Amino acid sequence: MVFFPGMVFAQTAGNLSTDFWMTFPQGDLENPPRNETLLISSTTATSGTVQIPGLAYSTPFTVSAGGMATLGLPFACMPKGSEITEFLGIHVTSLSPVAVVGFSNEGDSSEAYLALPTATLGRSYITLSYEE
């Protein structure tokens, strides 16, 4: 084992924020219904809004201290294909920091992921791909 004396610095990015952009991956379009849900939690009482600008969708939410809000999203928020541009980004904003989980349930299959704050994600990306 090797020990380094001195100060240790942790990453400052975390999963709590007042601003998130997220989406859901494409699912089985042949066999709806697929349920897309946001689980929003906070250590303090707060409120906010979930918007999907491409669908002109907006809904408010409130979370009690230590509680969780569950918001069902419209089926239309799911991307319809690959290699196309769709304006289906989900924008979550709140007055106080929250954590956001995207939950998807389709038949016998469920999946979830922790949304990362906009500040953590940044705005520049590199896509790893190849040409066939």
Q: Where are the domains of the chain?
A: 17-24+33-75+86-115
Q: Is the pLDDT of residue 29 over 50?
A: yes
* Helix H or strand E segment including 92: strand 90-106
Our CA angle for 19, 21, 27, nearest 5°, is 145
Our CA angle for 102, 106, 108, nearest 5°, is 120
CA distance 3 to 48: 45
CA distance 119 to 109: 31
Q: pLDDT category, 50, cuts 50, 70, 90?
A: very high
How much is the mean pLDDT over the chain?
Answer: 83
In the block, residue with structure tokens 């042949």: 30
Q: pLDDT category, 46, cuts 50, 70, 90?
A: very high
pTM: 0.80
**pLDDT for position 79:** 76
Task: Considering only residues 43 and 80, tell me which one the structure prediction assigns the higher pLDDT.
Answer: 43
